[in-house]
Structure 1
Amino acid sequence: MKRPRRLVTVSHSYVVSLNRRLANELARVGAGTWEVKAVAPRSFQGDLSPLLLKRDEGEAATLEAVRAFFSRSLHAFVYGPELRGCLAGDVDLVHSWEEPYVLAGLEVALLTPRRTPLVFCSAQNLLKRYPPPFAQAERFVIQRASGWVAWGETVKELLTTRPGYAARPARAIPMGVDVELFRPHRAAGEAFLREQGWDAPGPPVVGYLGRFVQEKGVPLLMAALDRLQTPWRALFVGGGPLDGALRAWASHHEGRVRIVTGVPHGDVPRALNAMDLLCAPSQTTPRWKEQFGRMLAEGFACGVPVLGSDSGEIPRTVGDAGLVLPEADVPAWTAALARLLESPEQRRELAARGRERAVTRFAWPVVARAHLDFFEEVLASR
């Protein structure tokens, strides 16, 4: 009987159990044909405090803990020497969820035995020139790799214009969403609204989920809402530097705006279900454009109609299941909001299309299957 193939997937993101969903779904979907080991740091410096690795019950992938050094810098951190042992032995493929230009990505490529295929992944969707040693790291990883995964179509299109990338097999695969956790649940949404002091029924709720920053389009959404003649309420969930400006603006719309910060990820489905529309008005800057728009996939899964700008990957994420609008066109956003606010039927249609898109394109088993299919192609091409 043929033994299952052995996959080792390495990522500093795996220090957070939620991010190990990819590794665990690879193990579940590949059960019987793939054995999956996830390599994660024992600890890693997060934005606010150190993150400690915790094992969850029922994880399908084997979890291997290694040390990580200099983790205050995503570009310069490296794994401990025990990583070599994780990658050695009878391994059929190594998957590196580290950018090819960072030192950890270089380390994985250096320590993966030459006989073992290596597949790395990237979310880089801007043309950049890296200084030494990061440019040299990228060049080595590309030459060493047997293939690469792009976290989006726009990432793949851009990177294939860079030296070396087009010479390797590549696959664009989106991020995943838990369609059981994120699902339509209107009662949960209504309870969330009551917690914000909206006890009585009112106009439809225009929602925003994410960082309160310029590049996420918070000022544009405020301007579009200012212009609306149709009755509306607005729910902003997130946090960030524009919190003060957002609250000052909300003071001019007494009773119509709620701003909720510090929402844990487990409560995000309730917040989304409290919205009648979800807006993602991201704005491209010289140093940033939207890489995927996870909140869009989560909104789709909750059956919330979605409006997104044409920044970065958003048009590919939305497809025909929502509305894509010019990122800097306030009148276009105002008009689109008015149409949807006035049409419950159109909102229901978009909600159904969004849920279908989440289940068929972004559900974790679908994303995991796409990875395993690509890994099989890489192995077959050797």
Structure 2
Amino acid sequence: MNSLRIALIASARYPIMEPFAGGLEAHTWALAHALHRRGHDVQLFAAPGSDPALGARELPVRKVVLSREARADSSMPSGTWMQEHHAYLGLMLDLARHGEHRFDVVHNNSLHYLPVAMASALRVPIVTTLHTPPTPWLESAIQTPEICPVTFTAVSEFTASAWKATVPAARVVHNGIDTDFWRPGPGGDDLVWFGRMVPEKGPHLAIQAARTAGVPLRLAGPVADRAYFEKRVEPLLGEDAQYVGHLDRRRLVELVGAAGAALVTPCWDEPYGLVVAEALACGTPVCGFDRGALAEILTPDCGVLAPPGDVEALARLVPVAAGLDRRAARRRAEEFCSFDRTADAYTDLYEELMR
């Protein structure tokens, strides 16, 4: 396999650094490391504060300085929106000018529309991974040229189907995890919930289900929505439902591996569900809501699914999940969720596009 020069574009919103802000950041970090281990030269473009071991070039590329008159204009968007727009605009212009001399392929792993909208200005192949349901800005960028020059992948069959009207031929490359790092634990009597503390992840529903089932729950993850956490989650906490903080991956592996089952409570159509794969790798069966791509990952011997939002049904399934074979959960992670499969699929795609 030839060594490739890969430009990997990450989110400008959060650094690619432990403890990760979310699944997208964790996935980008893992992909960069996996490609490095395969001998490829990877230049990561990411938010300030990203892992120095990745040799990231920081976004924003150049800080935008706006006049008082521009800031006062009625069309002025939020400061965050403007900073991200400026960062990706600068990056894409730089890649358009110099990219063909520095890279063999560009992989856009961000959620921003500009890498797609400006893809025709590049002289190297560009891959964009679809991590979310369709967004208006990205759909518009895809439809702007008569033929969009971007090769699209989707993180699940569910996500590919959601984008089918705009991207009829997205190649499915399931997200993966490092199954050597996410190792089996001994299990235990308690339940675990982990992820971002935001409404769409539904940690308040996990607390209600665990309490209804009469099983203690420990929750971990970044408080990404402080107002939601203080209003909907914090009042439900107690001795039987404890928030243990935003843990690094090593402590998270220990927490998840010591649980009898993991609750996964999406209140939106989960495009993939990285926490499901991480729980299975720890040998911890999953008890979740049947939304999005969860049914693609789980099989009956490693997880159970309740109707979306049905807390009572989820509670009834807790003892079923806790009684599943932990070896089957681990086996499913090794066979379906290994990051080696993910990295190999992307490497094969890069080489295919260069032929």
Q: TM-score, length-normalised on structure 2? A: 0.77
The alignment status of 1:291 with 2:295, answered yes or no, reads: no
Shift in CA distance, 212/142, structure 1 to aligned 2, threshold 3 Å: farther
Separation in 2 of the partners of 1:54 and 1:211? Answer: 20
Which 10-residue stretch deviates more, 268-277 or 368-377? 368-377
Separation in 1 of the partners of 2:110 and 2:232? Answer: 36
Which 10-residue stretch deviates more, 71-80 or 4-13? 71-80
Conservation of the 8 A alpha-carbon contact between 2:267 and 2:309: yes
SS at match of 2:52: coil
1:306-345 equivalences under 5 Å are 306-320=286-300, 321-341=302-322
Separation in 2 of the partners of 1:296 and 1:141? Answer: 37
The alignment status of 1:305 with 2:285, answered yes or no, reads: yes
Conservation of the 8 A alpha-carbon contact between 1:175 and 1:367: yes
SS at match of 2:184: coil
SS at match of 2:101: coil
Separation in 1 of the partners of 2:110 and 2:145? Answer: 11
User: Which residue matches 2:67?
Assistant: none
| Aligned residue among 42, 52, 58 for 2:49 | 52
The alignment status of 1:96 with 2:114, answered yes or no, reads: no
Shift in CA distance, 212/16, structure 1 to aligned 2, threshold 3 Å: closer
Conservation of the 8 A alpha-carbon contact between 2:6 and 2:106: yes
Separation in 2 of the partners of 1:84 and 1:110? Answer: 9
The alignment status of 1:37 with 2:34, answered yes or no, reads: no
Conservation of the 8 A alpha-carbon contact between 1:212 and 1:243: no
What's the CA shift string for 1:320-372, capped at 9, x where partnerless?
4311221122232121113345xxxx33x1x2222122222222221101112
SS at match of 2:106: strand
Shift of 1:28: 3.0
| Aligned residue among 16, 25, 35 for 2:34 | 25
The alignment status of 1:365 with 2:340, answered yes or no, reads: yes
Separation in 1 of the partners of 2:240 and 2:149? Answer: 53
Separation in 1 of the partners of 2:10 and 2:321? Answer: 41
**Number of residue equivalences:** 320
Shift in CA distance, 249/65, structure 1 to aligned 2, threshold 3 Å: closer
Which 10-residue stretch deviates more, 8-17 or 313-322? 8-17
The alignment status of 1:227 with 2:212, answered yes or no, reads: yes
SS at match of 1:72: helix
Shift of 1:91: 4.6
Conservation of the 8 A alpha-carbon contact between 1:9 and 1:97: no
List runs of 5+ in structure 1 lacking aligned partners: 45-50, 190-202
Aligned-partner residue type, residue 4 of structure 2: R
Shift of 1:210: 1.9
Separation in 1 of the partners of 2:44 and 2:197? Answer: 33
Separation in 2 of the partners of 1:121 and 1:248? Answer: 38
Separation in 1 of the partners of 2:297 and 2:102? Answer: 37
User: Which residue matches 2:74?
Assistant: none
Shift in CA distance, 208/174, structure 1 to aligned 2, threshold 3 Å: same
The alignment status of 1:248 with 2:248, answered yes or no, reads: no
1:157-306 equivalences under 5 Å are 157-162=161-166, 165-166=167-168, 169-186=169-186, 204-228=189-213, 231-238=214-221, 239=223, 240=226, 241-243=228-230, 245-251=232-238, 255-284=239-268, 289-306=269-286
| Aligned residue among 346, 356, 368 for 2:331 | 356
Shift in CA distance, 243/90, structure 1 to aligned 2, threshold 3 Å: closer
Shift in CA distance, 278/155, structure 1 to aligned 2, threshold 3 Å: same
Larger radius of gyration: 1
Separation in 1 of the partners of 2:146 and 2:296? Answer: 26
Instruction: Considering fraction of residues, name the structure with more strand.
Output: 1
List runs of 5+ in structure 2 lacking aligned partners: 18-25, 65-78
Q: Percent identity?
A: 18
User: Which residue matches 1:194?
Assistant: none
User: Which residue matches 1:112?
Assistant: 122
Shift in CA distance, 214/63, structure 1 to aligned 2, threshold 3 Å: closer
Separation in 1 of the partners of 2:316 and 2:272? Answer: 25
Q: TM-score, length-normalised on structure 1? A: 0.72
Shift in CA distance, 39/232, structure 1 to aligned 2, threshold 3 Å: closer
Separation in 1 of the partners of 2:281 and 2:205? Answer: 25
Conservation of the 8 A alpha-carbon contact between 2:209 and 2:312: yes
Shift in CA distance, 209/64, structure 1 to aligned 2, threshold 3 Å: closer
